[in-house]
């Protein structure tokens, strides 16, 4: 009994922190999502499920979800393909591979605000480095203000988001590759398998759990992109780079819209949970196949 009691007291601090900073805020947001409130005054008006019904009709909200989905699609393809290619390269016995590991992990640890401001300067239409480089190459006809053009702004943001985030996937995939016994590749070579056959029949089946983990983290991180977009475009031009988190922030700043922002946050959280559970279900089916 004494041992159980002492163990309980060790758990209490963590339980208190979790309750104060996670459980209580969740139920408070759930409560506020059913009210109209400006976030300051003590008066709150109960509106029931009206905020959630309003979200269903909010065109800009669904535009922001589509924009976040596009960024996520670019990240799932370009970002993770780049991370996997570099992880495969560094998993081999190449010179200075430890140096490359450090270099590839630099972008994720950089400040998103700093990265956003630097790339905003690079993309600038008047004195940006990209347009200057295009001019040197004789491609002046391609130069324009990339972040002010509705046709290119979102793609530019998605590419920079992928460039900044590929290091996380690189490290996780590299760690997964290093857990595969080298004897399996040697046995495959003895059986006459070439590089592609070894990758298809050895690497991919054993890396499925790692691939799923990287995909889930990519989706959660890309759908919640915020600081980079805020520092590069602020959601513009118009709503072409607006994402759910920037919409939630805009609602919080509106008159009597704080409760609506809470409803948006809950809706967004539920969508992310559904996507994560769907991916885990697909992963289980793939492992059983």
Mean pLDDT by 10 residues, the chain (289 residues): 72 87 90 87 87 92 93 92 89 74 84 90 87 87 85 91 90 90 86 85 88 89 90 84 91 81 92 86 73
Q: What is the model's pLDDT at position 287?
A: 67
60 in Cβ contact with 247 (< 8 Å): yes
| Assigned token pair, 236 | 């513009």
Quote the radius of gyration of the chain (alpha carbons, Å).
24
pTM: 0.88
| Assigned token pair, 164 | 């900044």
Does residue 277 sit in helix, strand or coil? Answer: helix
Q: What is the model's pLDDT at position 39?
A: 80
User: What is the per-residue pLDDT across 248-289, written as a single tens digit (0 to 9) for each?
Assistant: 988 888 767 889 999 999 999 999 889 888 877 877 776 666
Any residues with CB less than 8 A from the CB of 140 and at least 6 apart, and which? 134
277 in Cβ contact with 220 (< 8 Å): no
Q: Quote the distance between the C-alpha of residue 208 and its chain's center.
A: 20
**Closest residue by Cα to residue 34 from 54, 16, 64, 57:** 54
Q: What is the model's pLDDT at position 52?
A: 93
Q: What is the model's pLDDT at position 266?
A: 93
Q: For domain 52-288, say whether CATH 1.10.3720.10 is its number.
A: yes
User: What is the per-residue pLDDT across 168-177, written as a single tens digit (0 to 9) for each?
Assistant: 999 999 989 9
- Measure the CA–CA gap between 259 and 35, rounded to whole angstroms: 5
| Assigned token pair, 132 | 């200057």
Q: What is the model's pLDDT at position 69?
A: 93
| Assigned token pair, 254 | 């509106």
| Assigned token pair, 244 | 């759910």
Q: Which helix (H) or strand (E) holds 35?
A: strand 35-36
104 in Cβ contact with 87 (< 8 Å): no
Any residues with CB less than 8 A from the CB of 52 and at least 6 apart, and which? 33, 263, 267
Q: What is the model's pLDDT at position 255?
A: 67
| Assigned token pair, 252 | 């919080």
- Measure the CA–CA gap between 131 and 143, rounded to whole angstroms: 5
Kindly report each contact of residues 122-128 with a partner whose C-beta sits within 8 Å and lies 24 or more positions away, as own/partner. 123/147, 123/156, 123/232
233 in Cβ contact with 64 (< 8 Å): no
């Amino acid at each position: 009994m004494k041992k159980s009691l002492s163990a309980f007291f060790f758990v209490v601090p963590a339980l208190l922190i979790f309750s104060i900073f996670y459980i209580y805020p969740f139920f408070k947001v759930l409560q506020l999502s059913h009210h109209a409130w400006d976030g300051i005054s003590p008066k709150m008006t109960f509106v029931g499920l009206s905020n959630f019904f309003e979200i269903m009709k909010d065109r800009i909200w669904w535009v922001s979800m589509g924009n976040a989905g596009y960024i996520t699609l670019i990240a799932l393809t370009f970002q993770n393909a780049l991370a996997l290619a570099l992880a495969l390269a560094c998993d081999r016995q190449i010179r200075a591979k430890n140096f490359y590991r450090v270099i590839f992990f630099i972008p994720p640890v950089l400040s998103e605000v700093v990265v956003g401001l630097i790339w905003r300067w690079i993309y600038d239409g008047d004195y940006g480095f990209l347009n200057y480089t295009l001019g040197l190459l004789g491609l002046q006809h391609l130069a324009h203000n990339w972040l002010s053009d509705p046709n290119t702004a979102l793609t530019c943001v998605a590419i920079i988001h992928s460039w900044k985030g590929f290091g996380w996937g690189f490290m996780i995939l590299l760690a997964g590759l290093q857990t595969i016994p080298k004897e399996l590749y040697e046995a495959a070579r003895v059986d006459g398998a070439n590089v592609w056959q070894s990758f298809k029949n050895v690497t991919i089946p054993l890396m499925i759990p790692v691939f799923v983990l990287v995909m889930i983290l990519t989706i959660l991180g890309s759908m919640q992109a915020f600081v980079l977009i805020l520092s590069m475009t602020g959601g513009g031009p118009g709503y072409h780079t607006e994402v759910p988190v920037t919409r939630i922030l805009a609602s919080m700043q509106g008159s009597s819209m704080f409760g609506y922002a809470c409803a948006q946050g809950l809706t967004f959280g539920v969508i992310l949970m559904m996507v994560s559970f769907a991916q885990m279900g697909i992963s289980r089916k793939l492992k059983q196949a």
